[in-house]
């Protein structure tokens, strides 16, 4: 079986790098749900570790700079983000 969990881990990493922590955690939680339902390959532990890493980063970032809300991000999206968003929405189907 192909490692389809990469389809969730890579976007989670991208979202984390853009400081969109809540969305990155949601992506990991969705992957965990799908792994448990045996719909994608991968391990729950890899996404639990990623969530922990994101939460740690949130703590560090929140003390140095405020996290922007979704509304301000939507105004700054570039075409690559739209493609990512459309792809993530297709994966959720």
Look at residues 79, 25, 46 and name the one whose alpha carbon lies nearest to residue 87. 79
Question: Given a cut of 90, is residue 84 above it in pLDDT?
Answer: no
- Compute how many other C-beta atoms are within 10 angstroms of the C-beta atom of residue 60: 9
Average pLDDT, the chain: 78
Whether 60 maps to a domain, the answer reads: yes
pLDDT of residue 71: 46
Residue 81: strand, helix, or coil = helix
pLDDT of residue 46: 94
Whether 1 maps to a domain, the answer reads: no
Q: Which of 7-11, 56-60, 66-70 has the lowest mean pLDDT?
A: 66-70
- Compute how many other C-beta atoms are within 10 angstroms of the C-beta atom of residue 23: 19
Number of domains observed in the structure of the chain = 1
Q: Which two tokens stand for residue 77?
A: 């999206």
State which residues form the domain around 47.
Answer: 6-92
Query: Based on the number of CB atoms within 10 Å of its own CB, is 59 exposed (0-12), middle (13-18) or buried (19 or more)?
Result: exposed
């Amino acid at each position: 079986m192909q490692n389809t969990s990469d389809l969730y881990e890579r976007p989670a990493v991208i979202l984390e790098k853009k400081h969109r922590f809540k969305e990155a955690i949601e992506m990991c939680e969705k992957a965990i749900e799908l792994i448990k339902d045996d719909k994608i390959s991968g391990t729950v532990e890899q996404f639990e570790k990623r969530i922990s890493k994101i939460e740690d980063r949130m703590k560090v970032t929140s003390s140095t700079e405020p996290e922007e809300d979704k509304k301000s991000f939507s105004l700054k999206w570039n075409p690559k983000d739209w493609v990512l968003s459309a792809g993530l929405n297709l994966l959720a189907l």
